[in-house]
Amino acid sequence: MTAPVKPDPGATTPPSGTDEPRVSPIAAALAAAREAQRSGKPMLPASTDEETPPAEEPGETPDDTDEDDGTDDAAGTEDEGEAEGEDEAESDDDEAKPPESEDGKPPDTTVEAGEAGEGEVDPDLIVALPPRREGDDEFELVVENKEAAERIRQLRNGYLAGSQVRALQETIDQERAQIEELEVWIGTDPAGFILQNVPATVIEDVALSLVFSPDLFEKVKDKLQTAVEDDRERRVLMAELKAKRSDAKDTLRQVLETRKFAKGQAILVRDAIAKMVPVTDGITDTRRQAIIQTLESAAADTIRKKRIAKVEIDDVPIMLAAQLRAAGIDPLAAAQALHGDPSSQPGKRPAKKKPQPTRQELKAASEKRKRATASTPPGGGAPAGRTKLPKGQTLEERFKLAREKGLGALLGR
């Protein structure tokens, strides 16, 4: 708001003796200022030393004030300035105030160190979990802080390392089993192994090398000469060799089956022992492994000494009862652990027992039987002998009739 214009000290004032009314210099200056404001002209004359104040925006008109005094206009200007300042302060406070959550509490605006911008997740808080089944994708888990993420990664790495060790152990066991089978094959049926595994391109060299070796040639030269000279003797020799290879194959098959059965028995006993030794806070891992090794050795000795051909899973706690007691394990609890706790296994509900008849019911049934006996004439009950068949109908025909039409037709009902 432009300050009131001061009167010009050099302006002339009309004499007091004239008929024109006297106008106050202040009122005249205010009137001139209002007129200049309405017309959009500057209220002060242009000057080279001072800048021209900006004109009021169109549509805004100053409030009317009294012509006698300019204090009301200045007071209104101060009130408007204070109101505008309060509005601006309130708007700034609203912008700076954080939005409240549904429960009336301001949301947590704390950000972890290293966290990404708004709408993004810090990669350090994402943990990739291994898939449950082969062929599935990894599962990404977002945790709250970096310490939890690091601990989960340690567990994940331990699980993966354990999985790799188990897979490697399975591969080693398979290769070891194959090597053992080859050793048994070579020891039981060497001729069959050579004939099936040596390439045809070198089998002749192998045969000649064996036949003409110094020690072997002296033993087989007579048989070779007879086989060359007599065709019949050659066929007999071939049949004998074929029978030997057949017997060797049968022996090999039996040996492999026996070894496979023994391995299955060992796995059964080992798994049963692992189930019988509980995993509790009172038994450390080292102590538990020592107990398991002791029980496995005792089971192997018992099976070997008593020549047990086949072991069932329920035989293991009976066979190791003494060793289990020595280790502080109840054999009965160990036997229940093999099949799980019966109380925790789902099963059929026990059938409801039929309620026992009361004394009145028993008395009423007895009286009913007495009345039935008294009303039946002698010979009116069950027939004394078997039912006689009609003449001309055999027993087979009666059975056929019963099968087709039921037992009632057989009894004549």
pLDDT digit string (tens) for 350-403? 455 566 677 777 778 877 777 776 655 555 554 444 445 556 666 566 666 666
Please give the full DSSP string across 372-407, using - where no structure is assigned: HHHHSPTT-SS-SSPPPPPTT--HHHHHHHHHHH-H
Judgement on whether residues 78 and 131 belong to the same structural domain of the protein: no
Q: Which residue(s) pair with 128 in the sheet?
A: 140
Q: In the listed set 278, 312, 343, which residue is the last one of a domain according to the structure?
A: 343
> Rounded CA gap, 364 and 187, in Å?
85
Task: Confirm whether 49 is domain-assigned.
Answer: yes
User: Residue 187 pLDDT more than 80?
Assistant: yes
Task: Confirm whether 236 is domain-assigned.
Answer: no
Judgement on whether residues 46 and 127 belong to the same structural domain of the protein: no
Q: In the listed set 327, 343, 359, which residue is the last one of a domain according to the structure?
A: 343
Q: Give percent above pLDDT 90 in the chain.
A: 3
pLDDT digit string (tens) for 19-74? 555 667 777 777 887 787 777 766 665 544 444 555 555 444 444 444 444 444 54
Q: Which residue(s) pair with 139 in the sheet?
A: 129
> Rounded CA gap, 37 and 56, in Å?
8
Domain that holds residue 73: 1-10+20-82
DSSP state for residue 142 in the 8-state scheme: E
Q: Are strands 126-129 and 139-142 parallel, antiparallel or unpaired?
A: antiparallel
Cα 381 → chain centroid: 72
Task: Confirm whether 402 is domain-assigned.
Answer: no
CB atoms within 10 A of CB 189: 23
The vertex-265 CA angle with 261 and 267, nearest 5°, equals 115
Judgement on whether residues 130 and 67 belong to the same structural domain of the protein: no
Tokens 């700076």: give the residue.
96
Question: Whats the size of the chain, residue-wise?
Answer: 413
Task: Confirm whether 142 is domain-assigned.
Answer: yes
For the chain, the average pLDDT equals: 72
Judgement on whether residues 68 and 131 belong to the same structural domain of the protein: no
Q: In the listed set 82, 99, 134, which residue is the last one of a domain according to the structure?
A: 82
Mean pLDDT, rounded, for 309-323: 87
> Rounded CA gap, 2 and 22, in Å?
26
Task: Confirm whether 366 is domain-assigned.
Answer: no
Task: Confirm whether 319 is domain-assigned.
Answer: yes
Residue type at position 211: V
Task: Confirm whether 375 is domain-assigned.
Answer: no
Task: Confirm whether 146 is domain-assigned.
Answer: yes
8 Å CB contact between 226 and 233: yes
Half-sphere exposure of 241 (CA within 13 A, CB side): 12
How many domains does the chain divide into? 3
